[in-house]
Structure 1
């Protein structure tokens, strides 16, 4: 069937089962938007306030649903406005396909209006980029991009299409997604891409046998649950594995929800703001098994002294991660779900009561005082939220102190429940991610936890939330400062608070009202309870809500270990 390249793009989206996209139009991508207009009954498009918001929304959609997210943008500033969102998805292994359109081929390389080499810009922060200059290659490129985004270690892929290709005519033959691998086309194209983590490596049985022997010889095993468990939806296999070897489990930022935070084996977060139980358990174990964990500088703060008494085993889908940050004694390359399933089939039940008693003699959660001058503690706010909202509430956070508090005090119970920027630490991620999560999971309660600094970054997406009747509840931890940076200045920079005092607008309640939403400021638990009840009523009517929560400036995230020091050298307890 003959059709334009623009229609090929839309038909290929339908091939992939796409029914939701996020984006912002412009001149070079108008042909695609014109086709989308004709497909409104099959593909829902969410127009955000800014391309960065669209990128985060597509990312949040992908993380919360397990599907590939899709984001559209025009050339030049439209494309470059995506880059923060692309990098965020890349660092956290989130599968998103970004589709941009560039100027016509004859205008490339001539400093044409709104021209940019976005494939070059995005190359370091994607699994692969493609510039399509031949309409005959368009369909296969889109199919490859989706296969690549979801294959192996997931991640973002960018396609840039010249405008003349979207207007050109081509014979298009539909190819259902299930046929893509059968005809060998996808594998051949993926094999030419530039990343090492494309296809699903089969775990080596000998490597699994070696680990089974190491487990047999261990008296003090410890597990780290990383983001790879979340991405592969290997949570049930991981929990079975933890129970079978009877080992305490430390959870990384990205591993939240893969191991139920309320599980008796869970020791809480590990690393710079990890619990004493997690950090001391890693320091004292004789076998450390990290699953889907990158050993980043926020986990292994001083790599050469990390888990000093342990044999370290790393299970990861991406060979490039092995021995990158921490030297291991053994590793297994493979999808976490496959590796854990094989391990569970062959290891017996173990019992490590004495070792667990030691680890859990240390606190798994920080305790905060209840009375702070005219403000609430983080624990009070989060406990109230958890008590009053459904247990399966999806939580999107921004980055800063509020992020750490949320992860410390919420007990996430399933993959995709926590949406947060771990590797890239993107302030402004949360509201866009919440929009994507609510769009992809309309039946669920979705909340956005942010700080007064982060919320300023992308609060313009309240317009998107209101227009599409996405009933997201935003909780602002308002302490009047850029909290995490301010905390570092207090502890390590002689209390020289350079440019971290937020003694300025806006009034967040009035801001919410300007966007057509209700908002309120609360200073105590009773007011917070009343506000949440009001927000729940607004949700029933399809309206979002903003709750500005007063938090004392002097509140800090505890525990804290300084970067570059041993994991048990707590600067704050």
Structure 2
């Protein structure tokens, strides 16, 4: 059948199993939006308040579901407004397809109104991108984009389509099923027996898993590996929720603001089995002094990550779940009573550092939220101190139930991502956010209210840019330059102005009751919780520090 290019865009999205897209119309995508109108019974479009919100919503959708999220924007500022969201997706390996319009092919290179080289701009932060000037290329290119976004290490792909290609017509033959990603394979070299021997000889093994564990669906294999070799498990920030919080081997998140026992145990291990992690600076501190004399077995589907930041003893390129299925049978089932005793001692030291103060402390706020969460409710965070408190103190029972921006650390990510996660799962989500990040994305309350998205927003308001201010305390001798916000914004009034329900609490008891109401509401509900501006995220490893030098008290 013969269709216009814009109709082909929408029909191909439907063919690829897309049920919702996030976007904002404009001149160079007006034809795509006309097609969205025609096919609105088959594909839902969510109109956001800002294109960056569309990218974050598509990202949150993908993180919650494992399926590619889709966002649409016009040329020029519409396309460039997507860039931060695309980069956020790229740094955290999220499958995303961004579709932009551009000026007609005949005007490319003339600096016409809202012309921009968006493929050139996004080249460093996409797995691949395309510019389409011929209508006949639209369907095969979009299919290729979805295949690439999902294959291997997932990531974002951008497809830029000239306006005249959207208006032209050609024959279109739909596929009966979505294009499948490239098949994954286990490590196929001959090192497995040698790796198994290395792990078997270890007396202090340590399993460290990241976002690749979730992407591979390797949660059961990781837990089985730790049981066989009698090892503790820790995660990176992106690996939070990969292992259920009720697994007795889980020490929690490791790194700059990770759990004390998880971070100290990594420093003491003699063999680190690294599974789908990047060993970035937040995990290692000073990488030149990290893991000296420690053997590192690193398994990742992306060869470029192997020995990139830290020299590994063994590099195994392959799908994590499939590779562990081959490795685990080669391992000897064993116990390490001395190492277990060390881990138990570190857990005791960690418990001694726990915050037992009364009142609206971050610890009490997180405990009250955790008591009211059910395992099926995903938690989304923005970026800052609240993000670390949530990752440290909340419990997670299933993968993809913790959604956050790790690699890029994008303030303003939270509300858009929460909207996307909720619409992807067709369920309630909880957003934990600070006043700094909320100030960057609160316009998306309009999107949440209009679409009656059941998102519970827990706003921790300390009136400062807390994470930067915390570093100023330790690094700049308390010279707090431009991190005290001094804003008079009434967030409850703002939320109500957008049409959301909202209230402010002043005690833990009020917080509990407010969360009960918020979690039962049909649409968005904001609970503002004031906390002291001098609250700290502890433990803390200073930038460039080492794992054995953690700050555990505010007076250190």
Could you state the TM-score of these two structures normalised by the residue count of structure 1?
Answer: 0.94
Q: Which residue of 2 aligns with 1:396?
A: 380
Q: Which residue of 1 aligns with 2:548?
A: 568
- Answer whether contact 1:394 1:418 (CA < 8 A) is retained: yes
Secondary structure of the corresponding residue to residue 356 of structure 1: helix
Q: Which residue of 1 aligns with 2:128?
A: 128
Residue 349 (structure 1) aligned with residue 333 (structure 2): yes
Secondary structure of the corresponding residue to residue 288 of structure 1: strand
How many Å separate the matches in 1 of 2:242 and 2:336?
Answer: 22
Residue 362 (structure 1) aligned with residue 346 (structure 2): yes
Q: Which residue of 1 aligns with 2:224?
A: 240
Between stretches 81-90 and 284-293, larger displacement belongs to 284-293
Secondary structure of the corresponding residue to residue 13 of structure 1: helix
1:51-90 per-residue CA deviation (whole Å, 9 max, x = no partner) reads: 0001000000000001111111110000000000000000
Q: Which residue of 2 aligns with 1:497?
A: 480
Secondary structure of the corresponding residue to residue 174 of structure 1: coil
Superposed displacement of residue 205, structure 1: 4.8
Superposed displacement of residue 208, structure 1: 2.3
Between stretches 507-516 and 563-572, larger displacement belongs to 563-572
Residue 511 (structure 1) aligned with residue 491 (structure 2): no
Superposed displacement of residue 327, structure 1: 0.6
Q: Which residue of 2 aligns with 1:520?
A: 503
- Answer whether contact 2:58 2:70 (CA < 8 A) is retained: yes
Residue 459 (structure 1) aligned with residue 459 (structure 2): no
How many Å separate the matches in 1 of 2:27 and 2:341?
Answer: 64
Superposed displacement of residue 201, structure 1: 4.7
Superposed displacement of residue 571, structure 1: 2.8
1:315 to 264, 289, 299: 299
Superposed displacement of residue 173, structure 1: 1.5
Question: How much is the aligned-residue C-alpha RMSD, in angstroms?
Answer: 1.5
Residue 273 (structure 1) aligned with residue 252 (structure 2): no
- Answer whether contact 2:375 2:398 (CA < 8 A) is retained: no
- Answer whether contact 1:231 1:415 (CA < 8 A) is retained: no
How many Å separate the matches in 1 of 2:429 and 2:88?
Answer: 20
How many Å separate the matches in 2 of 1:209 and 1:133?
Answer: 52
- Answer whether contact 1:284 1:309 (CA < 8 A) is retained: no
Between stretches 345-354 and 89-98, larger displacement belongs to 345-354
Residue 99 (structure 1) aligned with residue 86 (structure 2): no
Residue 219 (structure 1) aligned with residue 203 (structure 2): yes
Residue 421 (structure 1) aligned with residue 401 (structure 2): no
Secondary structure of the corresponding residue to residue 281 of structure 2: coil
Secondary structure of the corresponding residue to residue 145 of structure 2: helix
1:105-125 per-residue CA deviation (whole Å, 9 max, x = no partner) reads: 111111111110000000000
1:100-159 per-residue CA deviation (whole Å, 9 max, x = no partner) reads: 010001111111111100000000000001000111111111110000000000000000
How many Å separate the matches in 2 of 1:276 and 1:436?
Answer: 33
5 Å matches for 1:128-527?
128-177=128-177, 180=179, 200-363=184-347, 364=350, 367-371=354-358, 376-443=360-427, 445-527=428-510
How many Å separate the matches in 2 of 1:419 and 1:355?
Answer: 32
How many Å separate the matches in 2 of 1:262 and 1:429?
Answer: 28
1:195-221 per-residue CA deviation (whole Å, 9 max, x = no partner) reads: xxxx73541252222221112111110
Q: Which residue of 1 aligns with 2:538?
A: 558
Secondary structure of the corresponding residue to residue 342 of structure 2: helix
How many Å separate the matches in 2 of 1:360 and 1:425?
Answer: 32
- Answer whether contact 1:208 1:339 (CA < 8 A) is retained: no
Secondary structure of the corresponding residue to residue 247 of structure 2: coil
How many Å separate the matches in 1 of 2:198 and 2:386?
Answer: 39
Between stretches 49-58 and 211-220, larger displacement belongs to 211-220
- Answer whether contact 2:132 2:160 (CA < 8 A) is retained: yes
How many Å separate the matches in 2 of 1:160 and 1:266?
Answer: 44
1:459-502 per-residue CA deviation (whole Å, 9 max, x = no partner) reads: 00111111111110101111111000010111110211111001
How many Å separate the matches in 1 of 2:519 and 2:552?
Answer: 37
Secondary structure of the corresponding residue to residue 362 of structure 1: helix
Q: Which residue of 2 aligns with 1:194?
A: none
Secondary structure of the corresponding residue to residue 436 of structure 1: helix
How many Å separate the matches in 2 of 1:546 and 1:14?
Answer: 34
- Answer whether contact 2:307 2:315 (CA < 8 A) is retained: no
How many Å separate the matches in 2 of 1:34 and 1:439?
Answer: 23
Secondary structure of the corresponding residue to residue 203 of structure 1: coil
1:205/1:352 CA distance change after superposition, 3 Å: farther
1:160-208 per-residue CA deviation (whole Å, 9 max, x = no partner) reads: 0000000001111122346x56xxxx97xxxxxxxxxxx7354125222
How many Å separate the matches in 2 of 1:430 and 1:81?
Answer: 16
Secondary structure of the corresponding residue to residue 42 of structure 2: coil
How many Å separate the matches in 2 of 1:81 and 1:330?
Answer: 41
Superposed displacement of residue 20, structure 1: 1.0
Q: Which residue of 2 aligns with 1:531?
A: 514
Q: Which residue of 2 aligns with 1:61?
A: 61
Q: Which residue of 2 aligns with 1:81?
A: 81
Q: Which residue of 2 aligns with 1:193?
A: none
How many Å separate the matches in 1 of 2:477 and 2:332?
Answer: 54
Stretches of structure 1 that go unaligned for 5 or more consecutive residues are 188-198
Stretches of structure 2 that go unaligned for 5 or more consecutive residues are none
Could you state the TM-score of these two structures normalised by the residue count of structure 2?
Answer: 0.96
- Answer whether contact 2:197 2:331 (CA < 8 A) is retained: no
How many Å separate the matches in 1 of 2:379 and 2:85?
Answer: 18
How many Å separate the matches in 1 of 2:264 and 2:516?
Answer: 40
- Answer whether contact 1:285 1:309 (CA < 8 A) is retained: no
How many Å separate the matches in 1 of 2:474 and 2:273?
Answer: 33
- Answer whether contact 1:235 1:414 (CA < 8 A) is retained: no
- Answer whether contact 1:521 1:548 (CA < 8 A) is retained: yes
Secondary structure of the corresponding residue to residue 3 of structure 1: strand
Secondary structure of the corresponding residue to residue 21 of structure 2: strand
How many Å separate the matches in 1 of 2:377 and 2:340?
Answer: 30
